[in-house]
Structure 1
């Protein structure tokens, strides 16, 4: 797809995607199918569902995707860590450390914040089950590791449940998996309105978080320039999921130039030197921004604006992590994916490395690609087809679904 054709598509795609319903059409050389739903997700072969429903205008949807065919039960409160016969289905912290060649310790003094909508009343208790199961150090309010506040930074009153309990459990568990020694701050917005979520990001930073993960979004639109400043805090790494609807309209806040946009992969064990194979996940969000200019540090040729994503990690529900939760659609152990998994994991990786000041934006990654696995293979073009371009196909070097690649140790962080 040439630049002129791609630019024309960028200007018109928001309206096109919002109204594509009954049939397949050809727009600016791009195939648009009836499945194109800007606030929806690209689900698996009948065994995946959204953790959160469709978002109302002006609000975000969480990107967690639940496997409906995995029911691990209540499981393992207090079990001996590493008892393989009783570990839940799905990837655990040791699996992800192995895949990404990460150290088991690090991140002392780092506080990773996760921003979500509404309260999860069982968040701390569920996190304790996850960390006990995998032999991770305790992270509780009592020992000062875990802290939960509302969007104003107070412990009370907490907001009403907004149906994001699975998302919150996923976020807490993935930060724990990446950085077991990090402190975790859960900031709960009053609602999924972008102003509430943005104020929650500001609160997270004011309370000392050095990495802030945002596993939610909505298709970008004119006017997002007003909320973008919430996600710009030099000295703090702001990380956001790229979305789970495949290639199309870029997702905000991932499209903001100050944000590290995290795409998704499918990660499986393999009999090779790495021990794992990785391809682009079919649902990983990617897109060329129609509203935000291309940063100087991003040089991909066929997108005139900010291109999403920058980096990636496992997000495929079919190869996803084991998660423990007890509210809003999960009743114990399950497997949950989506770029809602990769964003908090990458925030934890940045914390593990301990240099959040390197990430006022994603530019550091673009000059340290030797510290990343280049993901080649797979595509996210089942709703929109980019015509073989890197924007929806995982190719050598930069591509939309996986960005520059996935962590290979801490060299890029």
Structure 2
């Protein structure tokens, strides 16, 4: 077959593995990729100012066009690829075929690399597309299938595998925190759906029944939704199940009247993105808020991923869907060891509510102190300044500093914060084990539960709340003490009056 003139898809590749560690792989293996398409037209400004679009209107007027999808399908068929799915609202076409045929179609070169005990596909150069599709295709996901994100939770430990509820007098259940923080009362999140993105692990219904029975609550309705072959797959308490159960139990304890839809996907950039777009455009469950507790430092993502994920979050904002994401658990370095400061993505997207962490001390059900969570270099609230996303309009007067790495005038992270220190963490039940878990992973579902309460109380979706809370931060209680300096050189950020790159505007409790 004579290949048409092709154009490199800029930002589709990031070098990270030495060539000597790469091996040949089976080119006859069949895999599926997700091809992302452009919108029909730009989203209206009004959709971000309290007049969100319906999912139906969005698909009809702003999703991908049928013509563009057909062109991509035809291109795929020319290269012996099969159409698996076309979703115009999600702006996605999924194509399946042999690795050898996908390499020819997209000018790719794939190798194998062993990471820990598993083998993964690795892309060794940028993807290219047929020149006539250059302005139609915005990204190709699934060729490279390395793990992309980590869960942002930490188990409380003191010379034992994990601390039980009885041994943690300063730990809380999420409903207790809702009362301490002054979340709205008289509402339960009824009529709302909280979406949760998971990239591993699973939940057991018996755990949920026993946990909520212990709280004196009716167990919320929890649905497991499979994405790209992901599934509800519980294993052991010290694995990803801790993240899944934390997310469900925290969100459910704050908003027990809300339905919870858990989207399980593989831990790849393709799986993560497909889970997000499926949740955003789910016309059956219709989440009004989505919680994400998985992420990685911006430096680990391709530009293609940052751009396409961000566009999905922009769509959520236009649909009135609030996205809450953990800001990271390793302070200003965000788990990196290069001596530089880093912020976590997806929390650094300007359309995401970035959720930082605090250390909370309570006496007689009253807050006696609350400071930036910072116990060590591996146990501290993430936060800082994006090196990729420019400073958004809503942060123009927030006093966001320039990036300490590049002097880039970027988006400040986080927006809000709440209890995250494992030593003052959350009492949960995981695979039959009573555990105390912290991390900004807990803050994202806590905020998602709050948003569900506010949506019911205000009889409308909170949606894209950034402009509102920055213009009037009175619904947040400022955290002014502590820092998240965790790099080897001691660089990082200090909390202070107003917004700061440790806890944002503070603890949100009302809108």
Q: TM-score range by the shorter chain?
A: 0.7 to 0.9
Q: Distance in 2 between matches of 1:111 and 1:385?
A: 44
Alignment match of 2:326 (pick from 231, 241, 253): 241
Q: Distance in 1 between matches of 2:232 and 2:359?
A: 35
Q: Deviations over 1:301-354 (max 9, x none)?
A: 42210111000111110110101101xxxx511110000011110111111100
1:349 matches 2:424: no
How does the TM-score come out when normalised to structure 1?
0.73
> What corresponds to 1:3 in structure 2?
none
> What corresponds to 2:474 in structure 1?
370
Deviates further, 341-350 or 197-206:
197-206
Do the aligned partners of residues 134 and 86 (structure 1) sit closer, same or farther apart at CA in structure 2, a change above 3 Å counting? farther
Check whether the contact 2:152–2:328 (CA below 8 A) recurs between aligned residues: yes
- The offset of 1:363, in angstroms, is 2.2
Do the aligned partners of residues 110 and 159 (structure 1) sit closer, same or farther apart at CA in structure 2, a change above 3 Å counting? closer
Do the aligned partners of residues 261 and 157 (structure 1) sit closer, same or farther apart at CA in structure 2, a change above 3 Å counting? closer
> What corresponds to 1:252 in structure 2?
345
Q: Alignment partner of 2:392: what SS?
A: coil
Alignment match of 2:435 (pick from 315, 334, 342): 334
> What corresponds to 2:231 in structure 1?
158
Q: Distance in 1 between matches of 2:295 and 2:469?
A: 22
- The offset of 1:135, in angstroms, is 1.1
1:138 matches 2:219: yes
Q: Distance in 2 between matches of 1:399 and 1:359?
A: 23
Q: Deviations over 1:196-221 (max 9, x none)?
A: 11211222221311100000101103
Alignment match of 1:292 (pick from 389, 397, 404): 389
> What corresponds to 1:120 in structure 2?
202
Q: Distance in 2 between matches of 1:385 and 1:158?
A: 42
Alignment match of 1:321 (pick from 422, 426, 446): 426
Q: Deviations over 1:123-174 (max 9, x none)?
A: x3222222111112222xxxxx22111126xxx9836569421100110111
> What corresponds to 2:267 in structure 1?
192
Structure 1 unaligned regions, length at least 5? 1-13, 16-55, 76-84, 140-144
> What corresponds to 1:227 in structure 2?
309
Q: Distance in 1 between matches of 2:254 and 2:363?
A: 21
Do the aligned partners of residues 199 and 105 (structure 1) sit closer, same or farther apart at CA in structure 2, a change above 3 Å counting? farther
Q: Distance in 2 between matches of 1:88 and 1:130?
A: 18
> What corresponds to 1:393 in structure 2?
494
Check whether the contact 1:199–1:230 (CA below 8 A) recurs between aligned residues: no
Q: Alignment partner of 2:267: what SS?
A: coil
Bigger RCO of structures 1 and 2 (CA < 8 A, at least 6 apart): 1
Do the aligned partners of residues 57 and 245 (structure 1) sit closer, same or farther apart at CA in structure 2, a change above 3 Å counting? farther
Alignment match of 2:243 (pick from 167, 170, 185): 167
Do the aligned partners of residues 61 and 241 (structure 1) sit closer, same or farther apart at CA in structure 2, a change above 3 Å counting? same
Q: Alignment partner of 1:324: what SS?
A: strand
Do the aligned partners of residues 113 and 212 (structure 1) sit closer, same or farther apart at CA in structure 2, a change above 3 Å counting? same
Check whether the contact 1:231–1:258 (CA below 8 A) recurs between aligned residues: yes
Q: Alignment partner of 2:278: what SS?
A: helix
Do the aligned partners of residues 263 and 157 (structure 1) sit closer, same or farther apart at CA in structure 2, a change above 3 Å counting? closer
Q: Distance in 1 between matches of 2:167 and 2:156?
A: 19
Q: Distance in 2 between matches of 1:297 and 1:386?
A: 29
> What corresponds to 1:18 in structure 2?
none
Do the aligned partners of residues 382 and 311 (structure 1) sit closer, same or farther apart at CA in structure 2, a change above 3 Å counting? same
Structure 2 unaligned regions, length at least 5? 1-13, 16-144, 333-340, 375-379, 403-408
- The offset of 1:357, in angstroms, is 3.8
- The offset of 1:298, in angstroms, is 0.5
Alignment match of 2:183 (pick from 102, 110, 114): 102
Q: Distance in 2 between matches of 1:261 and 1:301?
A: 14
Check whether the contact 1:266–1:278 (CA below 8 A) recurs between aligned residues: yes
Do the aligned partners of residues 253 and 332 (structure 1) sit closer, same or farther apart at CA in structure 2, a change above 3 Å counting? same
> What corresponds to 2:294 in structure 1?
216
- Equivalence map 1:83-98=2 (5 Å): 90-98=171-179
- The offset of 1:225, in angstroms, is 1.6
How does the TM-score come out when normalised to structure 2?
0.60
- Larger Rg, first or second structure (1 or 2): 2
> What corresponds to 1:278 in structure 2?
370
